[in-house]
């Protein structure tokens, strides 16, 4: 464990010189409102959204993948992120249990007796390093703050997923 006490107080003297990223990079990303950049809104938590083709519509969603028999829910979440980024994102998943759930019914036209709707389970993960801009199969994506989610997500989906997001 690293604390200033363990290292003779060195941490306190280094603190005034700490710079999270160059102010020029941050200024450019914030001025351009470049939502594909991680060098923006560094004082906020950012969430990854990707554009998915659902039926004949393109919709912004949190990354997702279909669960496979024998796979854990967390395993599905890890696979979804890997499919999106390859090895370009190094993340730490927070726990083995989902932090949220979104249930919905299919439109009546495509419902069957066995398939009435679906459930989406959500996991929290913290980005350690990397960026999707480096990914080989780069999807349309944005990094947004909780307050910007409404610019992308459909109202019902937004209402459900907003309940388990914290803006740290």
- Looking at every residue in the chain, the average pLDDT score rounds to 81
Query: H or E element: which one contains 25?
Result: helix 23-32
Secondary structure class of 49 (helix, strand, coil): strand
Q: What is the pLDDT of residues 5-41, one digit of tens each?
A: 444 445 566 666 655 555 666 677 778 888 888 888 8
Unique residue bearing structure tokens 């939502």: 35
The C-alpha atoms of residue 3 and residue 10 are separated, in whole angstroms, by 9
Is the entire prediction scored with pTM above 0.75?
yes
**CATH number for the domain running over 22-164:** 3.90.79.10
Closest CA to 72 of 121, 116, 115: 121
The DSSP result for 67-126, as a single string, is --TT--HHHHHHHHHHHHHTTSEEEEE--SS-SEEEEEEPPGGG--SS-SEEEEEE--EE
Average pLDDT estimate for 57-71:
92
Q: In degrees rounded to 5, what are phi and psi of residue 117?
A: -165, -160
Q: What is the pLDDT of residues 149-165, one digit of tens each?
A: 999 999 999 998 888 88
On the question of pLDDT at 85 being above 70, the answer is yes
DSSP bridge partners of 93: 125
């Amino acid at each position: 464990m690293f604390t200033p006490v363990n290292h003779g107080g060195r941490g306190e003297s280094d603190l005034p010189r700490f710079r999270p990223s160059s102010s020029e990079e941050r200024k450019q990303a914030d001025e351009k409102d470049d939502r594909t950049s991680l060098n923006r809104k560094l004082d906020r938590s950012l969430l990854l959204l990707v554009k998915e083709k659902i039926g004949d519509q393109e919709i912004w969603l949190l990354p997702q993948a279909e669960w496979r028999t024998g796979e854990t829910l967390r395993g599905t979440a890890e696979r979804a992120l890997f499919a999106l980024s390859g090895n370009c994102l190094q993340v730490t998943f927070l726990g083995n249990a989902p932090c949220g759930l979104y249930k919905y019914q299919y439109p009546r036209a495509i419902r069957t007796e066995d398939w009435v709707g679906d459930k989406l389970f959500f996991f929290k993960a913290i980005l350690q390093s990397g960026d999707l801009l480096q990914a080989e199969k780069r999807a349309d994506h944005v990094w947004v703050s909780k307050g910007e989610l409404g610019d992308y997500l459909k109202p019902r989906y937004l209402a459900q997923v907003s309940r388990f997001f914290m803006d740290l």
